Chains A and B, each alone.
Chain A
Amino acid sequence: MATANHPAAPKLSTGVQPLRAAKGSSFLWRKLHSLLGIIPIGAFLVEHLLSNFEALKGPAAYAAQVKFLNSLPLVRVLEWTFIFLPIAYHAIYGLYIWFRGKSNIVYYPWAGNWMYLAQRWTGLVAFLYIGYHVATQRFLGVSLPENPGASFHKVQAELSNPVILAFYVIAMIAICWHFAYGIWLFAAKWGITPGVKSRKRFGYLCAAFGLALAIMGLAGIWAFVSPQYKNAPENVQVTTLVEPGR
């Protein structure tokens, strides 16, 4: 083909690449991330907050609950496969998702966009908190699986530091928010709520659930700092039966 003389033209940047149709495995990993957030992580969160709620009944009841959980069959296997590994995956892949997104809240300060951003920040708070919490409460200091009776005191000692307490409160709210909005996102992105109205209604439901969860969680924290159980004994006698009240 005949071409007239022409100077070398500047090159365009490559830009966003087109869809890699039917290629790659990111679908699986992303859906796994999404699913794990609900089950088992979300389910475990609910269980954990329910367990914490036992603390309102006092150190003995709390210890009983800890002992009960640690008496489940194959508890170490359960702990790793249904708690630690899923959380680790959810957290690390979540960070990966975050780093690949590009928030533009400055130009588009819309509700959904705020939620998108909030989901990432609450996720980060949760990640840091859970890392700290698991390290200090599960692996450092008195081993609670072996000494369930020491659990109330251990938590109480931890929360006696106001900075740590604030960290716990903030993290509790962030985690509940993250979970509640996560459920909403799950329903939207798995096609359970494909209509504007259904998403809106389900949004209210998730908000109520998240709020309830947060209140329950904060109540659990309150049990450890309230005057009622001030200076709980370092260790309490644990029966496998849960005592009614004190």
Chain B
Amino acid sequence: MASPRIIVVGGGLAGLSSVIKIAEAGGSVDLFSIVPVKRSHSVCAQGGINAAKNLKGEGDTTWQHFDDSIYGGDFLANQTPVKAMCENAPAVIDLLDRMGVPFNRTPEGLLDFRRFGGTLYHRTAFAGATTGQQLLYALDEQVRRFESEGKVKKYEGWEFLSAIIDSKGVARGITAMNLRTMELRAFPADAVILATGGVGALFGKSTNSVVCTGSAQSAVFQQGAYYANGEFIQVHPTAIPGEDKLRLMSESARGEGGRVWVPRKAGDKRVFSQIPESERWYFLEEWYPKYGNLVPRDVATRAIFKAVYEYGLGIDGQPMVYLDLSHIDRETLDRKLGGILEIYEKFVGDDPHEVPMKIFPGMHYTMGGLWVDFNQMTNIPGLFAVGECEYQYHGANRLGANSLMSCIHGGFITGPIVMKYAKSVDAVEGDGGAAAELARQAEINKALISNQGTENPFKLWRELGQTMTEHATVIRYNKGLQQADQKIMELMDRYKSVNLSDKSQWANTSFAFARQLKNMLELSRVVVQGAFLRDESRGAHYKPDFPDRNDEKFLKTTKARFTGEVEGPSFEFEEVDTQFITPRPRRYDAAK
């Protein structure tokens, strides 16, 4: 039998680690990525990667890691896969180390570990402030090695459009579009792995990269795949708002004495230096006298949101608050925060030694994603999902430094599973539906390019982002979520009269974007409606009207299914696997 042909879509950590395992096991891989894989969003991760290696004599165990992860995720994650991840983590770190990741070292030449949020142990391996970049490069290099041996063929600059699903409902390949020649093509395969990352673009601006649109997930969702826990979106409290995106400002800025404030007067036009101390409102210090500016991430996030949206006190009427370090002397700042202050200066142009930084919580991570079973397979046989685009490792909130591990571990286990699947799957009948699917995609393209209307897709996207950010990030009210859903429906309607100013058939970026936008709109409804249905507060999902966790009703996975109806997706709820750790209240102000 010929070696199984596997398609992997996405060249971040999850995709590349799948590719490595498949190529090593003798499979042939077609690797699809919008950008050259080395430029995938995984490069952005800064902090580190968790593994209970217990190299600091603290008695850390994989069980502790498991417990921290489940607890951090507010018990919404299925425990079996999370347990497996935590148990596999030390071996993954060893492997990455062997691949040459330049992890920071102890004087003895061993891996160094740092402490991260949500744990009491030094469990996070790191490579300077660019761990994600270093990990991605190590995997990229291994894949390049396989590529030079002919085991992997890269399709960089191709965008996934849809899965090819045969008459029995089995995935038999994909259709994809070449973003340079705009050529549409069907690629048959024995199995397909999606590793397409998060959905930051649903929120307009986020800390995610440009390609993190969720378009691929949405496409297969619209083909019948379940989308799970879509309402769980992690927001980072201190992102730097930019005209083009949000960039992370490390939590250490608050740790080193940064104070968060807004002018007391709404719409105060004065520059910060002309606002006297008495007219500055240090709302975190006032609301949380005990923790002050160092309240946990979610609390800080909600407070900042409240100050801006409920009190209307954002700087200059914009959704921003000050994070002030200018009262600390230059030398101390340089010693403790040098690198991160340089980043701020580079991208904002202001010197945080002199000028308070402007920050705002920003959409950061997608906990939800394609529903998969414990074998990483979606409900469409032959279609697998791995990494941030699936839902199963982070529950209601992701533990810091667990994302990199979940991606790599996920990829490493998925590779062999997919090989096994591909060897046992029945032979495809005919073309498996490839021609029909290709024709469907060609039809969509043709309709889009010849559409006569007045709407600009980039403008529609901005409106989507604004409404999603306002209603579906940090603080959620059912009324607001309903408004958001209405707005999305309006946008979907306006999308029908989208008019591309660029109708060419060569490297037409607005064309590709317009296709993604359609998928973003569909997926946004999953997020908004999922949030609407979940009348509780759990992890990153917070409703002031339902401030407590409700295990009785909502210790369940949300599963959305595409219907094509005006009402949007249909929802069902699935029991969570809690066989190892019994759910208990999650609080970070006391011992757990």
Contact = CB atoms under 8 A, between A and B. Distances in A.
Interface of A: 1-7, 9-10
A161 to B, nearest CB: 59
B interface secondary structure, majority: mixed
Contacts of A9: 180-181, 183, 505-506
B506 A4 contact: no
A2 B433 CA distance: 11
Contact of A3 (B182, B183, B506): B183
- The bracket for how many chain B residues form the interface is 10 to 19
Given A9-B506, A10-B506, A4 B184 contact: yes
A7 B184 CA distance: 11
Interface of B: 180-188, 431, 434-435, 438-439, 441-442, 505-506
A interface secondary structure, majority: loop
A2 B186 contact: yes
A6 B182 contact: yes
A16 B438 CA distance: 36
A9 B434 CA distance: 23
Contacts of B187: 1
Most chain B CB within 10 A, of A1, A3, A4, A6, is at: A4
Given A7-B505, A10-B506, A2 B434 contact: yes
Given A9-B180, A9-B181, A9-B183, A4 B438 contact: yes
Contacts of B434: 2
Nearest to A10: B506
Nearest to B446: A4
Given A2-B435, A4-B441, 9 more contacts: A2-B431, A4-B184, A4-B442, A5-B442, A6-B183, A6-B184, A7-B505, A9-B183, A10-B506
A72 to B, nearest CB: 56
A151 to B, nearest CB: 64
A4 B185 contact: yes
A4 B188 CA distance: 15
A3 B441 CA distance: 11
B431 A4 contact: no
Contacts of A10: 506
A9 B506 CA distance: 7
Contacts of A4: 183-185, 438-439, 441-442
B438 A2 contact: yes
B53 to A, nearest CB: 36
B576 to A, nearest CB: 42
Contacts of A3: 183-186
A5 B505 CA distance: 12
Contacts of A2: 185-186, 431, 434-435, 438
5 contacts: A1-B185, A1-B186, A3-B184, A4-B442, A6-B182
Nearest to B434: A2
A2 to B, nearest CB: 5
Contacts of B183: 3-4, 6, 9
A194 B435 CA distance: 59
